[in-house]
Amino acid sequence: MRQIIHLEPQDSIATVRDKVERAQAKEVLLVVPNKCESLRSLVNLKLLRRYADYQAAQIGLVVRDGEIRTLAKEVGIPVFFSVNQGRRAKMKRTKPKPLLRGADPVALARKAREKRIRLRVPGRGFDWMGLVVGLAVIVFVVLALGVGSLLILPGAEITLVPRTEVVSGAYPVKANPNIDEIDYVSSEIPARIVEIQLEETGQTATTARKDVPEARATGTVIFSNRRSEETLVPQGTVVSTSSGTTVRFHTILDLTLPPNGRGEVGIVALEPGPNGNVSAWQINVVEGGLAFQVDFRNDAPTKGGGAKQVGYVTAEDKNRLYESLLQRVRQEGYAQIGKELTEGEFVPPESLIVQVLSETYDRNVGDPADVLNLSMRAKVSGTTISTDDARKLASRLIQFQVPEGHELIPDSLVFQQGEVLQIEGRTAHFSMQVAGTTMAEIDEDEIKGTLRGSPIDDARRYLLENLELNADPAVAVAPNWLNRIPWFPFRISLHVLTG
């Protein structure tokens, strides 16, 4: 098993050695970042190689820094351009390559130092003009060769169509107003509560009906005077029936009875309604002191007492009006909350909470009325969810479905908000559906490093055997008579079509 260890730019050689010592595998691949100064030293690399040999471990470097790669090769440490190349390649122990073969490094260093000193202190008669002209010629030649090489060096274009797969899933998401950032572990996203106050009025027609007395019955009675002197029957004298339901009437005029005489006067029922319609001879009671002074009778029935049907308020009417107005408040509240949202936010209707602050009816139960009115004041609140946060969470969750060796194409993701699963307090549980396309990973540096200098047929064969492709690779070389991939990676263009 080969263990991969990532180094930091500030790691010293002692730190690198400790990381190799703590490694659990006998083959260790060190990923070297740019500006890792500790490995720019030939001495440090030799120490690292010796320590690895002492630990019976085989080490390799994933590094693109040309200086570190050169020094590492000199001490016999394998180097690779990418982690994938390092995983697949065999790490063979190589013998160190001395920087100077067959020469005394001390003597060469002394001679180089003396040469630099002589150049800095020119002797008498030194041709400065010749030196300047010579340098100018050299620079011109180098530039000309560089430009010419770029123009005539071969180039290659490789077009790959990696294999793709569609992945999709529905993921439960919790919108929690008690958190401030996305929790990828518990699948929670932040939410906020929006609330408004409303005042609404509504009315409903009453459904129950009952009879209400409307007209009073009228008639006449005949009074007979028992006395031998005049007797006054004043207006408003009350007479009534004596059997069944008592019905009372009052006289409408003053009546003066002659001694032992009689007279007739009109009467009106005290209460409206059909109960005042009584038969003849039923009115036989006179209230007050006149009961001992006169006799009387109604020789004809009373008539004209009537009733009409009117609506009246019931408890069912109040409940029906309350529920109807509450629903209207909920709908209006949802619309008003929608105006408070920012772009990318939504409120699940199931999260709305309506708190009635006051309710006032204009009639009580039993009151006659054809229409019942209600005024309501309420507070409406809802849980507001950010679709951007939901998409970020869903994008992270779908990564677990990406096949090994594939990567997700970000622009291919498609999101759809699913149904609300549960409202728990102010936390909304809902599902988020997401689908996307993955493609096989393509390591551009590894491909260029592996294919450079290869014949075109060998390059195509390598691509077919080592990559997951949906179509045969296209390899074009210019000039086409070379029939070989250029040696310089910067002259190789790699195009990846994701479809």
Average pLDDT score over the chain: 85
Instruction: Show the tokens assigned to 384.
Output: 């507001």
Rounded-to-integer distance, Cα 175 and Cα 153, Å: 59
Report residue 391: phi and psi, to 5°: -70, -40
Residue matched to tokens 């690198």: 16
Is the CA virtual torsion 335, 340, 341, 342 positive or negative?
A: positive
Rounded-to-integer distance, Cα 79 and Cα 67, Å: 12
Longest dimension (CA), the chain: 181
Rounded-to-integer distance, Cα 230 and Cα 258, Å: 5
Among the listed residues 327, 325, 322, 331, the one whose alpha carbon sits nearest the alpha carbon of residue 196: 331
What's residue 212's pLDDT?
80
Among the listed residues 315, 316, 321, 367, the one whose alpha carbon sits nearest the alpha carbon of residue 210: 367
Q: What is the pLDDT of residues 421-465, one digit of tens each?
A: 888 888 989 888 889 899 988 888 989 889 888 898 888 899 988
Q: What is the pLDDT of residues 81-134, one digit of tens each?
A: 888 888 887 776 555 544 444 444 334 334 444 444 444 444 444 456 667 777
Average pLDDT over residues 14-20: 88
* pLDDT of residue 371 exceeding 90: yes
Beta strands in 206-305 (DSSP E): 208-215, 218-225, 231-233, 238-241, 248-251, 255-257, 262-269, 283-286, 294-297
Q: What is the pLDDT of residues 226-277, one digit of tens each?
A: 999 999 999 999 999 988 889 999 999 999 999 999 999 999 999 998 989 9
DSSP codes, 16-58: HHHHHHT-SSSEEEEEPPTT-GGGS-HHHHHHHHHHHHHTT-E
HSE-up of 303 (CA within 13 Å, CB side)?
Answer: 3
Rounded-to-integer distance, Cα 23 and Cα 4, Å: 9
* pLDDT of residue 42 exceeding 90: no
* pLDDT of residue 181 exceeding 60: yes
What's residue 120's pLDDT?
42
Instruction: Calculate the dihedral angle through the C-alpha atoms of 262, 268, 271, 276, rounding to the nearest 10 degrees.
Output: 80
Instruction: Show the tokens assigned to 9.
Output: 């730019």
Q: What is the pLDDT of residues 377-426, one digit of tens each?
A: 999 999 999 888 988 888 888 888 888 888 888 788 888 877 888 888 88
What's residue 232's pLDDT?
93
C-beta separation of 188 from 174 below 8 A? yes
Rounded-to-integer distance, Cα 421 and Cα 176, Å: 14
* Residue 182 CB contacts under 8 Å (≥ 6 apart), including other chains: 188, 189, 190, 389, 392, 393
Q: What angle do CA 30, 32, 36 make, to 5 degrees?
A: 135
What's residue 210's pLDDT?
85
* Residue 5 CB contacts under 8 Å (≥ 6 apart), including other chains: 19, 20, 23, 28, 29, 30, 31
* pLDDT of residue 21 exceeding 90: no
C-beta separation of 172 from 429 below 8 A? yes
SS3 content of the chain, % helix, strand, coil (to 5): 30, 35, 30
Instruction: Show the tokens assigned to 282.
Output: 């039923």
Task: Report which secondary-structure segment, H or E, holds 292.
Answer: none
